[in-house]
Structure 1
Amino acid sequence: MNPRSNNPDHHQDEQRLQWDRVADAWKQWWPVIENGARGVSERMLELARIGPGQRVLDIATGIGEPALLAAGRVGPAGQVVATDLSARMLDIARERAQALGLTNVAFIEADAERLDFPDGGFDAIVWRWGPSDLSNPSDALATIRRLLRPAGAFAAAVWEAGPRARPLASLANDVARDMFALPSDCAAEPTPPTESLESRMRGAGFSEVRAEEVALSLEFASADDCTRYLVEVSPAFAELLSDKSPAQRAEFRHRLTERLQPYVQADGRVRIADVTLCVVGQA
């Protein structure tokens, strides 16, 4: 992996390109992703107390979640604003909204750390699996708090460090280190920060901050499907393997498939249990 650039604009451009490249794979694998992740989205919306008539911001929505789920909750009298850095991701999110007949969602291309909305413009803000990769967490969280109305809620889902949270990413990182001699402190997938989101939110002025674990499960038809999913939807692993030979890419998938054997069920399907943290606080 290339080290993160010291130029924020350059890093933003790199991230945009990486997510644009994998957007179509996210569309293809969406049933698998959302079958596992829907429960996390639902819990985030419950924690943020999202209901009819509210105005909600979904940061880094990807191809539309939990924005579209929130749109159903706020109803025609409410509105959801969904942002993402990737224009291609947002194109797919718009297609999904149109297919569902949702007209109360606006999609805006925006950097999660450069949000430009009026102060106090949202009743709730949600962010699924993004706050862990902030370059300037304090400023970003202060902005989020500023965008909320008094007593408005911010709910986010984040990954903890270690294999218990995301076994598939952990196994893939181990294979990558073995094959490509990556340093022990260099993983294809970003490592969650040591300081918890809870403490950072309190530092940014949020009150009544609390966190809870939420379990989810990803299921695949086979171990081969599972490895193909990983290298297609993960920008980090897609970039890592982009300059490798076809033989190296095939070997990577073969080794990862072997390590997935403990997760293979009697019918050949693969079931991987993840654990995420949902964190909520009030402005």
Structure 2
Amino acid sequence: MSSLSPEQIKAATRQAWEKSADGWNRQTPQIHAWLAPATVAMLDSARRVGPGGSVLAPDISAAILQFAQENAQRAGLANVEIRVGDAEALSVEAASFDAVVCRLGLMFCPEPLLALRQAYRALKPGGHIAVLVFSEPQHNPCIGILMSTALQHAGLPPRDPFQPGSLLSLGKPGLLDALFREAGFSEVTTSRLDAPFRLPSAEDYLSFVRTSASPIMQLLGQLDAVAQAAAWAAMKDKLQAFQSPIGWAGPNELLLTHGARPAQ
């Protein structure tokens, strides 16, 4: 278990994403290519917004939302509202939304059950929710390599991969289903989605991590330049295991969990 309080976890998460927002935004093409099939499955599961609908996009990071606003305007999407907010304490009207989706975000909540209860409260009866998170460590070896190497070079002990607020915190089999049901959702189903990250080389993957993977940067940011260089070199060496003649493919597996607020 994490020794940090939920508020400390949120503060660290907010700070990390404030620093990584620009890099994450610049990596948009790579992120789209990586997550496109999983995103389509998530949206299909929760239903899509029609021409007369609207979208509220809350996030804990104001910097992330600024880029979201600019990207929405550039795409001509006038029906998207952004709002800084805490998923565990949403300030929205009860029973006012038809659907809730969350792509690789719920696992950062220190108390995900609170976030799911907020989503339940926001949904209209009969409304749907779909959430994407990473599955178990053995199916996401690149995350394990990055985290274990960063911890080792930072002189820190290994961490429980399922600790609250971490990348793999909701990957334990059956956990997300149980949380959905405890929050009140029915029709709960979970499917596994293969989501390899394909790039020309391990170095390209590490370039992505350097600019946009905030949990790793939190650890390495405390080291001097020489120690950081040694950590990156060790990561690259281990990640070469996923190189092939046609490119680099880092294995990732996601869990897509769907639920509904009962109509009655």
TM-score (normalised: structure 1): 0.84
Residue 226 of structure 2 corresponds to which residue in structure 1? Answer: 247
Identity %: 26
Q: Which amino acid aligns with 1:45?
A: L
The structural deviation recorded for 1:281 is 0.6
Q: Amino acid of the residue matched to residue 175 of structure 1?
A: T
Alignment-derived partner of residue 74 in structure 1: 50
- CA–CA distance in 2 between the matches of 1:14 and 1:41? 27
Contact 1:158–1:278 (8 Å) recurs in 2: yes
Name the CA distance, whole Å, in 1 between partners of 2:177 and 2:92. Answer: 24
How far 1:186 sits from its partner (Å)?
A: 5.3
The one-letter amino acid of 1:44's match is: M
State the Cα deviation string for residues 58-99 of structure 1 (Å, max 9, x = none): xxxxxxxxxxxxxxx422x11011011111111111111111
Q: Distance in 2 between matches of 1:7 and 1:46?
A: 32
Alpha-carbon distance in 2 for matches of 1:46, 1:213: 15
Q: CA deviation at 1:220?
A: 2.0
Q: Using the alignment, how far apart are the partners of 2:107 and 2:25 within structure 1? A: 23
Please state how far the C-alpha of 1:190 moved relative to its aligned partner. 4.0
**Closer/same/farther in 2, CA of residues 192 and 7 from structure 1, 3 Å limit:** closer
Of 63, 77, 95, the residue aligned with 1:88 is 63
The answer to whether the 8 A contact 1:4-1:11 is kept is no
Q: Does 1:192 align with 2:169?
A: yes
Whether 1:214 aligns to 2:225 is: no
The structure showing larger relative contact order (alpha-carbon pairs under 8 Å, at least 6 residues apart) is 2
Q: 1:272 aligns with which of 250, 257, 264?
A: 250
Aligned residues: 255
Query: Match for residue 157 of structure 2?
Result: 183
Separation of aligned partners in 1, 2:117 and 2:160: 29
Listed as ranges, the matches of 1:150-161 within 5 Å are 150-161=125-136
Give how far 1:7 is off. Answer: 6.3
Provide the C-alpha distance between the structure 1 equivalents of 2:160 and 2:218, rounded to a whole number of angstroms. 14
Any residues of structure 2 matched to 1:1-283 within 5 Å, and which?
5-6=4-5, 8=7, 10-50=8-48, 73-75=49-51, 77-164=52-139, 166-185=140-159, 189-193=166-170, 194=172, 196-267=175-246, 269-283=247-261
CA 1:177 to 1:136, structure 2 compared with 1: closer, same or farther past 3 Å? closer
TM-aligned CA deviation for residue 38 of structure 1: 1.5
Aligned-pair CA distance for 1:124: 0.3
1:97 to 1:7, Cα distance in 2 relative to 1, 3 A: closer
What is the rounded CA distance, in whole Å, between the counterparts of 2:61 and 2:243 in structure 1?
34
The offset of 1:4, in angstroms, is: 5.6
Partner-residue secondary structure (3-state), 1:171? helix
SS of the equivalent of 1:101 reads coil
Deviates more, 1:185-194 or 1:195-204: 185-194
1:108 is displaced (CA, Å) by 0.6
Describe the SS at the equivalent of 1:259. Answer: helix
Offset of 1:177 from its aligned partner?
A: 3.9
TM-score, length-normalised on structure 2?
0.89
Post-superposition CA distance 1:99-118 (Å, at most 9, x none): 11111100111111110111
1:123 deviates by: 0.3
Amino acid aligned to 2:175? S
Provide the rounded CA distance (Å) in 1 between the counterparts of 2:93 and 2:214: 32
Unaligned runs of 5+ in 1: 51-72
